[in-house]
Amino acid sequence: MNFYKSTTAAVAVCAAGAVSAADLEVTHWWTSGGEAAAVSEFAKAFNATGNNWVDGAIAGSGGTARPIIVSRIIGGDPMHATQLNHGRQAEELIEAGLMLDLTDVAEAEGWKDIVNPTSLLDSCTVDGKIYCAPVNIHSWQWIWLSHQAFADAGADVPSNWDEFVASAPALEAAGKIPLAMGQQAWQSSGAFGVMTVAIAGQDAWLAVNADKNAEVAAGAEYAKVFEAAATARAMAANSNVQDWNQATNLVITGKAGAQIMGDWAQGEFQVANQVAGEDYTCLPGLGVNEVISTGGDAFYFPKQDDPAIEAAQKELASLLLSPEVQVNFNLKKGSLPVRGDVDLATANDCMKKGLAILASGNILPDGNQTLSPDTAGQIEDLMVEFWNDPSYSAADAQAKYAEIIAEAD
């Protein structure tokens, strides 16, 4: 029997509305080469059901797309499905009654038994009801290193952050940018988070991001992180690109030594036919503190008045967590599947590193799961100022950061 045309439990739940195919507009911000290849797997699978995926890609990454998505939903012009990061980004929309309850689908298909770690489904749950379908685990905790850049500089490929910092003069002497960094706020804020986990450690990160402990944010461990961020700022001074994938391309082409970026960068290396361990090296936790953060992407479904549309929404939600779609999507996206029961024998070396860390249980929540959108936005604004102003001292930036954490909700 054809996998995609089988009758899923979710369709059975809403059988009354599933008699006719539907067009679903799906918004997302996956527009780079690797991302487009991955999302096409979702579209292909959904179209195979007889429904139609109407692609609503929004260029410019999540920072650009999320305000547009939210504005449309609260303005009465909702799409039928939308990507968001699982966490607190949809909290107010759910509380306003604007998002479809997927609890019937989740219970019929046993999501609680298959989603790993359980925190991903917890992030979709409000007042005991499930409002999103998590599709992947994306970890920020990586640095990507170009073998070509280090060979051109006559330097060994570093195995940790300190070795990378020590190699920066050789890279610069060879005309390389030591650290590739795009100019968008979320990139510098994300890189700061990676440095925090690697340098201050998991306990300090949790104290600040989960417990909102401003004393730790103002303390000695975080001072080391801000000093490291100032060093990173100097190493990225000549990285004059905007988008994250443009910065990744600097690493792929050997123009830059490294990039701190989440595992979605793997998709770009794949599209460029680069091989992990041969053309590039990936270091979880900057090679200092091997940990995976369990952020990622989920799909939410704004409420509609049409029963046929709602039936198709639930069919898509079911499909997103199906084994074959999970494998096909995540192998191209560079992310880890949310199901722990799928075969990823063809995963590359970097993906296997991530799977091993996930299996070991050395995981942290993502900042989107612990910080409100308002707090995250304030931190991003601070990082824009800090990364773009060499005169902004590490101490002053840390003091402002501690103030934000003290007021965080």
Q: In this predicted model, what pLDDT tens digit does every residue of 200-231 receive, in sequence order? A: 999 999 999 999 999 999 999 999 999 999 99
Handedness of CA 204, 209, 215, 219 (dihedral sign): positive
Structural tokens at position 288: 């200092």
Q: Report which of 315, 227, 287 is spatially closest to residue 17, judged by C-alpha positions.
A: 315
Q: Which pLDDT band, with edges at 50, 70 and 90, does 368 fall under?
A: confident
Q: Say which residue, 371 or 103, is predicted with more confidence.
A: 103
Average pLDDT for the chain: 91
Buried b (16+ CB within 10 A) or exposed e, 27-45: bbbbbbebbebbbbbbeeb
Structural tokens at position 193: 């988070």
One-letter amino acid identity for 13? V
How far apart, in whole angstroms, are the C-alpha atoms of residue 205 and residue 232?
A: 19
Least confident of 189-198, 221-230, 332-341: 332-341
User: CB–CB of 102/134 below 8 Å?
Assistant: no
Structural tokens at position 87: 């966490």
- Distance between first and last Cα of the chain: 50
Q: What is the pLDDT of residue 347?
A: 82
Q: What is the pLDDT of residue 344?
A: 81
For residues 86-114, give the mean pLDDT. 91
Residue 192 has pLDDT above 60, yes or no: yes
Q: What is the pLDDT of residue 9?
A: 41
Q: Say which residue, 89 or 328, is predicted with more confidence.
A: 328
Residue 87 has pLDDT above 70, yes or no: no
How far apart, in whole angstroms, are the C-alpha atoms of residue 134 and residue 295?
A: 10
Residue 139 has pLDDT above 80, yes or no: yes
User: Which range in 53-62, 328-337, 398-407 is most confidently predicted, on average pLDDT?
Assistant: 398-407
Residue 391 has pLDDT above 60, yes or no: yes
* DSSP assigned state of 341: S
Give the largest CA-CA distance in the chain.
68
Residue 156 has pLDDT above 70, yes or no: yes
- Give the 3-state secondary structure percentages of the chain, helix then strand then coil, rounded to 5: 50, 15, 35
For residues 313-320, give the mean pLDDT. 97
Burial of 153 (0-12, 13-18, 19+ CB in 10 A): buried
For residues 382-388, give the mean pLDDT. 95
One-letter amino acid identity for 92? E
Query: Rounded to two decimals, what is the model's pTM?
Result: 0.78
Q: Report which of 14, 46, 2, 18 is spatially closest to residue 321, judged by C-alpha positions.
A: 46
